[in-house]
């Protein structure tokens, strides 16, 4: 059984950008640079969640299930690797700005005192559990709060924290039995997310919650179709995905409900009531219905590990790229669909005229935060 810390070395910059990961060259990471001002921290630690530069973020945490299912690779409930996947995606993405400019510098910086052990320490802030449903992130949120509050190297009052949430696939796997009348209805899903984020808001000042938007589970059906992809994939247990009575149109509509719920939470402004906390949806998965493909239309196995089950480095990098690109786009202009099959899509740079983690408020008017 893989443990988080056994693979953390993969997170290090030199591996992400070094010769051992030549395939990543194809994604345009090496040589990617942005305006020098974007790499600098704010002169003073910001007090507003809408004025946080990427280098101001010290702590990264996560709640959720896994990105594995989201990308159609398939993961049985309880797979510890899936935790790693999500974690890695985040770490990779957030290291991009730092690493691409200076490969000896780590994201968390040496000043925090976390130093070279930061990777292991921070991995403990990933509370994501494969198989988790939205209701489970409430417990995860409490656990995360406890860890942040009790960790000697974290200054909860002052350190900026970025918490990623990705949840919904397992809810969707159970949705079909009772639909909108059951425990996985849109409203139930929404309430669970609200409860979890409220726990974060009540206990973690200086926090940005970034929620990776729901994907359309039709993608999984495409991969499973005729088992042409990989034999290993049918190990993925998703009742509603296999349920023939639950049509593709039903799947799409149900996934749409969750996407709407996520966005409604953002639009409601309930998590924008104090200036040092916010919630942003990253919707790039929303419109994707096909897995990464080869030019001939077959699934592109380069994105997956040889066992057809785990993501390859390239797969992580691909998702990380799109997530990053979404993050630097202003709310309201974020891509809601990306082409996973196109490796030539460039990494974006944050906007120099609004060099912050994009939030609802700084997207509406950035000038107040400059």
Ligand X SMILES: *[C@@H]1O[C@H](CO)[C@@H](O)[C@H](O)[C@H]1NC(C)=O
Catalytic residue numbers read 66, 171, 310
Rounded to the nearest 5 percent, the helix, strand and coil shares of the chain are 45, 10, 45
Is residue 37 close enough to count as binding ligand X by CB under 6 A?
A: no
Nearest-approach distance from CB 340 to ligand X, in angstroms? 8
Is residue 273 close enough to count as binding ligand X by CB under 6 A?
A: no
Residue 355: CA atoms inside 13 Å, Cβ hemisphere, count? 17
Nearest-approach distance from CB 323 to ligand X, in angstroms? 18
| Interface mask toward ligand X for 147-176; x: CB under 6 A | -----------------------------x
Choice between 243 and 312, CB closer to ligand X = 243
Stretch that binds ligand X, among 97-105, 262-270, 297-305, 319-327 (CB under 6 A): 97-105
Considering just the CA atoms, what is the radius of gyration of the chain in Å? 19
Choice between 18 and 239, CB closer to ligand X = 239
Closest by CA to 71, choosing from 89, 58, 93, is 89
Return the C-alpha torsion angle 346, 351, 357, 361, nearest 10: -130
Tokens of 365: 């008017």
* Number of residues written out for the chain: 370
Helix (H) or strand (E) holding 140: helix 136-150
Nearest-approach distance from CB 297 to ligand X, in angstroms? 9
Is residue 245 close enough to count as binding ligand X by CB under 6 A?
A: yes
In sequence order, the 6+-apart residues with CB closer than 8 A to the CB of 80 are 1, 2, 3, 4, 130
Closest by CA to 269, choosing from 45, 47, 46, 49, is 49
Q: Are 199 and 141 in contact (CB under 8 A)?
A: yes
Which of 18, 113, 182, 239: binder of ligand X (CB under 6 A)? Answer: 239
Is residue 312 close enough to count as binding ligand X by CB under 6 A?
A: no
φ, ψ (nearest 5 deg) of residue 57 = -80, 130
Which of 107, 108, 246, 285: binder of ligand X (CB under 6 A)? Answer: 246
**What residue is closest to ligand X based on CB?**
342
Which of 248, 342, 346, 365: binder of ligand X (CB under 6 A)? Answer: 342
Nearest-approach distance from CB 125 to ligand X, in angstroms? 25
Choice between 175 and 304, CB closer to ligand X = 175
Distances (CA, A) of 127 to 83, 101, 203, 212, 271: 8, 30, 16, 15, 21
Nearest-approach distance from CB 318 to ligand X, in angstroms? 12
Give the integer Cα–Cα distance in Å for 301 and 307: 10
Give the integer Cα–Cα distance in Å for 9 and 192: 34
Which of 305, 339, 348, 369: binder of ligand X (CB under 6 A)? Answer: 339
Nearest-approach distance from CB 201 to ligand X, in angstroms? 34
Choice between 23 and 177, CB closer to ligand X = 177
Is residue 353 close enough to count as binding ligand X by CB under 6 A?
A: no
Positions touching ligand X (CB under 6 A) are 102, 104-105, 176-177, 179, 239, 243, 245-246, 295, 339, 341-342
């Amino acid at each position: 059984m893989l443990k988080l810390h056994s693979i953390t070395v993969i997170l290090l910059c030199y591996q992400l950008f070094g010769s051992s990961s030549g395939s990543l060259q194809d994604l345009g990471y090496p040589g990617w640079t942005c305006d020098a001002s974007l790499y600098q921290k704010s002169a003073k630690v910001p007090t507003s969640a809408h004025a946080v530069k990427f280098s101001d973020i010290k702590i990264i945490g996560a709640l959720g299930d896994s990105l594995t299912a989201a990308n159609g690779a398939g993961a049985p409930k309880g797979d510890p690797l899936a935790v790693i996947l999500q974690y890695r995606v985040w770490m990779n993405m957030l290291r991009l700005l730092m690493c691409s400019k200076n490969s000896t510098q780590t994201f968390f910086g040496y000043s925090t005192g976390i130093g070279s052990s930061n990777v292991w320490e921070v991995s403990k802030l990933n509370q994501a559990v494969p198989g988790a449903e939205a209701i489970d992130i409430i417990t995860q949120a409490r656990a995360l709060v406890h860890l942040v509050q009790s960790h000697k190297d974290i200054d909860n009052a002052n350190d900026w924290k970025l918490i990623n949430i990705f949840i919904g696939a397992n809810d969707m796997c159970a949705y079909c039995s009772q639909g909108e009348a059951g425990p996985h209805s849109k409203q139930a899903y929404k309430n669970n997310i609200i409860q979890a984020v409220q726990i974060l808001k009540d206990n973690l000042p200086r926090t940005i919650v970034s929620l990776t938007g729901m994907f359309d589970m039709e993608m999984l059906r495409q991969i499973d179709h005729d088992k042409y992809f990989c034999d290993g994939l049918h190990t993925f247990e998703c009742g509603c995905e296999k349920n023939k009575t639950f049509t593709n149109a039903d799947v799409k509509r149900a996934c749409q409900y969750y996407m709407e719920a996520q966005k409604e939470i953002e639009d409601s402004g309930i998590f924008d009531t104090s200036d040092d906390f916010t919630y942003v949806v990253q919707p790039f998965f929303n419109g994707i219905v096909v897995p990464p493909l080869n030019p001939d239309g077959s699934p592109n196995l380069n994105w997956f590990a040889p066992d057809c089950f785990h993501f390859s480095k390239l797969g992580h990098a691909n998702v990380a790229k799109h997530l990053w690109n979404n993050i630097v786009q202003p709310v309201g202009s974020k891509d809601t669909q990306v082409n996973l099959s196109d490796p030539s899509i460039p990494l974006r740079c944050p906007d120099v005229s609004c060099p912050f983690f994009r939030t609802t408020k700084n997207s509406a008017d950035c000038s107040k935060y400059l």
